[in-house]
Amino acid sequence: MRLGHQGTGSQTLLVQIVMALIKGVVIRSTGSWVAVMSDDGVIADCRIKGNFRMKGFRSTNPVAVGDVVEYQLQPNEDTGVIHTIHQRHNFIVRKATRLSKQSHIIASNIDQAVVMATISSPRTSTGFIDRFLVTAEAYHIPVSIFINKCDLYKDGDLVKLNDMMSLYSSIGYTCFTTSVVSGLGLQEVRSFLSGKVTLMSGHSGVGKSALINAIEPGLKQKVGVISEYHHKGKHTTTYAEMLPLAGGGFVIDTPGIKEFGLIHFDKQEVAERFPEMRVLMHGCQFNNCTHVHEPGCAVKSALNDGRISKSRYNNYISIINDEYFEEKEWD
């Protein structure tokens, strides 16, 4: 095709360029505006046109971070309109509010998840870690653990660090020890994240932003900003954000998300999401065993002889006693 023609030919070409659908990935979604990064790295603010809500699923946000979309640039504007959302490979949700039946899609098309924990300053409970692991397992998303701030730990904290590492490694989870201050583990983390879409979670203050900055200095995430979550049980309007890595891949920082709602979950399913329980369950006397009080329970006998850790089992009990499951009956 020859360019530089006069008259209608070039106008047609121009119209075709403007009308063309551009494919990209949603990197920020803040309500009605969505930032989409195209394959060649250009970021456009887009609006959503039409109804994209999924059937049989009530979510508060039709488009989520990680969605692959096609958008059209608006004539004479540098904004776009999203026309199509590609089918999601997976997505992770939380309850929109504590008691709501609606859910909020945190992110989609995730290759792997990471929970960042700290032994102290602040202490991360195993309850938080196990809930995150269980949720990732339920979505079949590979999940690993980063234990950060290792420069700080001495004496009792070092013992806890080693216990945590050996417990979760023995179950099969990949664990990294990291320190943004000393540089411990950062090279390993950089290659672990490269080329993948990684959802990163962890309490506020564990060092997610600091670690992202350390491996990707161009990103300049705000460090030490604790603003997200003032009142327990109330989700404020903080949004997940997808950060592009220079070596390919993205990290999804999920600020202010304290817990993932175990939505779309049956109580019965929870034990299956504990890999060390899953391999034993077939040995239980009853095939609908809840592993709480039944005779002939293979999980409880493994607990009694130390093959299953007390903290993991206690967290299992705590999860199945969640208020979310209260209205639900065991099948």
Binding site for ligand GDP (CB under 6 A): 148-149, 151-152, 179-181, 202, 204-210, 223-224
By CB under 5 A, name the one of 148, 209, 290, 309 that touches Mg ion: 209
What is the DSSP code string of 87-133? PPS-EEEEESSTT-S-EEEEEES-SEEEEEE-SSSSPPPHHHHHHHH
Least distance to Mg ion, CB of residue 221, Å:
6
Q: Is 143 in contact with 131 (CB distance < 8 Å)?
A: no
Question: x/- site string to Mg ion, residues 211 to 250, per CB under 5 A?
Answer: ----------------------------------------
User: Which one of Zn ion, Mg ion, ligand GDP, none is in contact with 240 (Cβ closer than 5 to 8 A by kind)?
Assistant: none
Part of the chain binding Mg ion (CB under 5 A), chosen from 83-91, 155-163, 200-208, 290-298: 200-208
Interface with Zn ion, residue 284, by CB under 5 A? yes
User: Which one of Zn ion, ligand GDP, Mg ion, none is in contact with 151 (Cβ closer than 5 to 8 A by kind)?
Assistant: ligand GDP
Which is nearer to ligand GDP, 243 or 297 (by Cβ)? Answer: 243
Amino acid symbol at 312: R
Interface with Mg ion, residue 112, by CB under 5 A? no
Least distance to Mg ion, CB of residue 254, Å:
9
Interface with Zn ion, residue 85, by CB under 5 A? no
User: Which one of Zn ion, ligand GDP, Mg ion, none is in contact with 180 (Cβ closer than 5 to 8 A by kind)?
Assistant: ligand GDP
Q: Is 44 in contact with 71 (CB distance < 8 Å)?
A: yes
Q: Is 295 in contact with 285 (CB distance < 8 Å)?
A: yes
Least distance to ligand GDP, CB of residue 123, Å:
13
Amino acid symbol at 287: N
At 75, list the tokens: 């004539």
User: Which one of Zn ion, ligand GDP, Mg ion, none is in contact with 254 (Cβ closer than 5 to 8 A by kind)?
Assistant: none
Owner of token pair 């709480």: 292
3-state secondary structure of 3: coil
Amino acid symbol at 31: G
What is the DSSP code string of 36-102? EEETTS-EEEEEE-S--PPTT--BS-SS-TT-EEEEEEPTTSSEEEEEEEPPPS-EEEEESSTT-S-
Which residues here bind Zn ion, judged by CB under 5 A? 284, 289, 291, 297, 299
Which residues here bind Mg ion, judged by CB under 5 A? 208-209
